[in-house]
Structure 1
């Protein structure tokens, strides 16, 4: 939430489809070059080295309320262990509560930059405050993949799995990556002023996915579903 002018200049979307040598297969299907440059998309397998993304996935863009993931992670693992931190974290993730984020950021002003350094998130910066922070879809997907691999019982993932249908400001939380198959949890972000700008980040069995769009929630849903319908299912572990 809250408006922050996004970085200007569209980059033509392309393909980044890679896998570590030990991976069983590369995810295929869906053509990243057909994704409009308004949208950046990143997909990660929980297997290190398996990923898919548009050419602009590493472009720094407004983090919007996706930055609350970083704030909450810092507070839970490096904070004072207070019940207040846990309450604020839950409000930030489940309901995208700005007031909770303001209080958390005031308590831990360097949280976003600390998490960026810890997880090597090169496009992520918290300078100036959470509401004007930047990140990339690649950073968000990498961060969530690390949480799923190393801390699957993190409260952050649980809160994403029980996100409110409606955010604290009344916004419906129901677009973008949340509309993909097998998604178990999602965090959304959006600007409060025109022009529209939205983000979403999700995880499911074996994968994480993040998207940012200079456009509406419907624009993002269209772009994400069009690109990833044949990709996500390949990353879900077979039983």
Structure 2
């Protein structure tokens, strides 16, 4: 159910001048991109609804997480969300902060800076981030206010900024809602396989099936890794005090068919007015310190490493387990299965 091939769906950001023109046009017309059209849930609408926003995030914060790792998943067509209780904790934003800088530049920056901002997303150029943040120091905090990103805050340098997996997933979902072919999203869909500093950009949430675009972040010593990815019907973000492979394993263990089914059932029960008590997790109370060193400025504090115990994917067992539930949950279960058909982000 995880994508095993290392071949990227998206071409390089330097694939042609037509792409750059399309990204800068800021229109609602989609760019042609046959390489990323690999079955990404085409039947699911992408808009969030006002009613679904009334469901508190804590209803589905049952995934494993602590001060060293967090994960967030948002299904776009109905707003169903699941995550770890640590998903709101401010963590080193690493290169994910470039998404906020680029979005600000696309909205308010000078013409030539827009090209640099989009290339920064695809290549993860630190030099561009440094130049653009120096020119637009208000960019991160302005975007945080505009998109209501409560755990996001700019640092003295771009690499010392903070965000949370919930914030970055919420940001991407809102960007998709505003314009599903927003230039920043298109740049994510055409990320370079290897970053400007030589780091492989194909891990974490990017390993989910039906991913259209991704952005990654890593610390100087590679001891902290993060990523955010989107498909036609979902956004997923994750961060870990660990290697890129450990991030991939963490996402694999938490974003499964089983967890999606559980989240869908609880989501629908809450929407139907049923009492849905929060699920106790083993999340630590300790937050990531605000003084942690960030991407490309200083090596970060590694903090606590804590991986999920299971390494085996469990996604194929979902449907049979749900069929065994009692008749009292039959209505919610039936509706849940219908939603799950459009939410499953994995290859079978």
Same fold? TM cut 0.5 = yes
Q: Report the counterpart of residue 188 of structure 1 in structure 2.
A: 216
Give the TM-score of the pair, scaled to structure 2.
0.57
Structure 1 175/33 Cα, relative in aligned 2: closer, same or farther at 3 Å? same
Q: Distance in 2 between matches of 1:117 and 1:185?
A: 24
Deviation of the 1:125 alpha carbon: 0.4
Hey, which bits of structure 1, 4+ residues long, moved more than 6 A?
A: none
Match of 1:221? 248
Q: Count how many residue pairs are aligned between Structure 1 and Structure 2.
A: 211
1:182, distance to aligned residue in structure 2 (A): 0.8
Deviations 1:129-172 (A, max 9, x none): 21100000000000000011111121111111110100000000
Residues 1:106 and 1:235: Cα distance change in structure 2 (over 3 Å):
farther
Deviation at 1:115, TM superposition (A): 0.2
2:80 is aligned to 50
Mapped partners of 1:175, 1:157: distance in 2: 18
TM-score by length of 1: 0.81
Where does structure 2 lack aligned partners over 5 or more consecutive residues?
1-48, 54-59, 262-338
Judged with a 3 Å threshold, the aligned counterparts in structure 2 of structure 1 residues 224 and 86 are, in CA distance, closer, same or farther, namely same
1:161 to 178, 184, 189: 189
Does the C-alpha gap of structure 1 residues 109 and 228 become closer, same or farther in structure 2, counting only changes over 3 Å? same
**Unmatched 5+ stretches in structure 1:** 1-18, 24-29
Once the two structures are TM-superposed, the CA of residue 38 in structure 1 deviates from its matched residue by 2.7
SS of residue paired to 2:191: coil
Give the aligned CA root-mean-square deviation in angstroms: 2.5
* Higher strand fraction (1 or 2): 1
| Equivalent residue for 1:114, pick from 142, 145, 148 | 142
Q: Is the 8 A contact 2:63 2:83 kept in 1?
A: no
Higher-Rg member (1/2): 2
Query: Which position in structure 1 is the counterpart of 2:229?
Result: 202
> What is residue 97 of structure 1 aligned with on the other side?
125
Q: Aligned partners of 2:63, 2:75: CA distance in 1, in Å? A: 20
* Cα deviation, residue 37, structure 1: 5.5
Shift in Å at residue 103 of structure 1?
1.0
1:15 paired residue number: none
Matching residue of 2:151: 123
